[in-house]
Amino acid sequence: MQIRSMFFKANAAAALANPVLQGNMRTSKGKFVDKRRTAIADFSAEGGDFEALRDAAAELRDRVLKDLDLWLEKFEAAATASGATVLWAKDGDEICRHVVDIARRHSVRKAVKSKSMLSEEAGLNQALEASGIKPVETDLGEYILQINNNEPPSHIIAPVVHKSLDEVADLFEKTHRTPRKTEIPELTREAREVLRSHFLDADMGISGGNFLVAETGSVALVTNEGNGRMVTTLPRVHVVVTGIEKVVPTMEDLSLLLRLLIRSATGQHISNYVSLLTGVKRPDEHDGPEHLYFILVDNGRADLVASEFQDMLRCIRCGACMNHCPVYQTIGGHAYGWVYPGPMGSVLTPLYQGLNKAIDLPQAATLCNQCGVVCPVKIPLPELLRKLREKQVEKNLRPWFERIALKGWAWVASKPKLYALGTWFGVRYLNWLAGADDRIRVLGVAPEWTLGRDFPAPEGKTFRELYAARKR
């Protein structure tokens, strides 16, 4: 996917000025946050200890990342023994080459897809189309985006969360050329009817993978619509595209992560479908693919192993960080400009796409740590964002006036007499700006502040002046 993170500010401003989007964001915010909270309360009421699960999951993910190469080799051996083929992709282009090669090898004309963020990283749909293979998204959200001129997703688990029912109704009416539906069940039924024929005549299914289980060579898929099961069992060929960090050692480990992932993501105790797929169709089986391929993707991940950003690889893609992020809640996912939005995206995008292509993202956070406290695998997201800011400073990527302002402030603050003088002038200047009603409507030294709010005037004198006078 082409990165547009350099236009973050302009995209955010457009999002703020879009009343439909603002309404949709308000609706979704409450739902995600409330559902997660209820699910965790239920878990505690049943005697569960969610915090202990988080600790165990963070420890598990760290343990896997420490020997990632060994667990991947183990997975490869088990998957190969089950009849699957394991391929490796360095980057998005290599993902596309592998998938197109597989499609050609098996004379594929149409591929049905269930949700995969890796395919967004790679721009896989465009690559398939360019090779004459028709990709059909079957996740309802992804389908809506595909028929809306290949719009990118705005959320990692709810790709179409930015759209209203009305917008979807309009889109279905236009695309399917059917009478306009206004109820959700009617719309989903219509999508189902359209998609059913695609499932039946597709030659290939492409899915992501929530986890890979090393001991069995299986892929675990967490879905709610049932399309994932159709994609992975009906076509002759199944291709799994997922990141190398998704491997876990055992089924037991998988169950730990599933308990956390689903509650953190949708607030369900368990999703409608949890599929565990191992190997190709065996002679005594009635369904399943004849050919199963795993494409395990690096695309920047290996560089994070053993780096100061390794904690980010613990991520299990639940979306809780963005659901709870005050910035994401305000501007939605598209403004972030690449595949992953919200706090996890603001860490991953500069790391995977280059620090200089996403200058605003690590800065576009209040560091409120709401993401840190909801993350099911305890990724210290604010700390990672701050570390990226350090990298920006080290590489001289910050604007000159910001560097001078910070250095200047610190230098003055290290000289108490100068600081006292500076603040003496400062408060008087601000009071002069404020005028009679004690508020500043345009703040020249920090104009962004007064774009949407006033700046209250200082009281008059500084504390240190008043305190010194009182002591005398």
In the complex, the residues that contact another protein under the rule CB under 8 A are: 9, 12-13, 16, 326-327, 329-331, 360, 363-370, 372-373, 386-394, 398, 402-403, 406-407, 409-414, 416, 419, 423, 426-427, 439, 446-456, 458-459, 461-464, 466-468
Closest approach, Cβ 341 to another protein, in A, equals 14
Closest approach, Cβ 59 to another protein, in A, equals 21
Closest approach, Cβ 23 to another protein, in A, equals 13
d(CA 56, CA 378): 10
Closest approach, Cβ 330 to another protein, in A, equals 5
Closest approach, Cβ 29 to another protein, in A, equals 9
Q: Kindly tell me which of 119 and 423 has the beta carbon lying closer to another protein.
A: 423
Q: Taken in order 187, 189, 194, 199, is the CA torsion positive or negative?
A: positive
Q: Kindly tell me which of 132 and 326 has the beta carbon lying closer to another protein.
A: 326
Q: Taken in order 249, 251, 255, 256, is the CA torsion positive or negative?
A: negative
Class of residue 35 by CB neighbours under 10 A (exposed 0-12, middle 13-18, buried 19+): middle
Cα 244 to the center of its chain, rounded Å: 17
Closest approach, Cβ 300 to another protein, in A, equals 21
Q: What are the angstrom distances between the C-alpha of 381 and each of 92, 371, 374, 392, 425?
A: 25, 7, 10, 17, 38
Q: Taken in order 167, 170, 176, 180, is the CA torsion positive or negative?
A: positive
Q: Kindly tell me which of 178 and 307 has the beta carbon lying closer to another protein.
A: 307
Provide CB contacts within 8 A for 472, sequence distance 6+. none
Q: Kindly tell me which of 196 and 386 has the beta carbon lying closer to another protein.
A: 386
Closest approach, Cβ 31 to another protein, in A, equals 14
d(CA 358, CA 347): 10
d(CA 286, CA 282): 8
Q: Kindly tell me which of 10 and 276 has the beta carbon lying closer to another protein.
A: 10
Neighbours of 437 (CB within 10 A): 8
Q: List the 211-213 sheet strands across, edge first.
A: 247-248, 211-213, 218-223, 273-277
Q: Kindly tell me which of 130 and 413 has the beta carbon lying closer to another protein.
A: 413
Contact 190, 172 (CB under 8 A): yes
Closest approach, Cβ 235 to another protein, in A, equals 44
Question: Which candidate, 312, 306, 295, 299, places its Cα nearest to that of 352?
Answer: 299
Q: Kindly tell me which of 196 and 415 has the beta carbon lying closer to another protein.
A: 415
Q: Kindly tell me which of 268 and 431 has the beta carbon lying closer to another protein.
A: 431
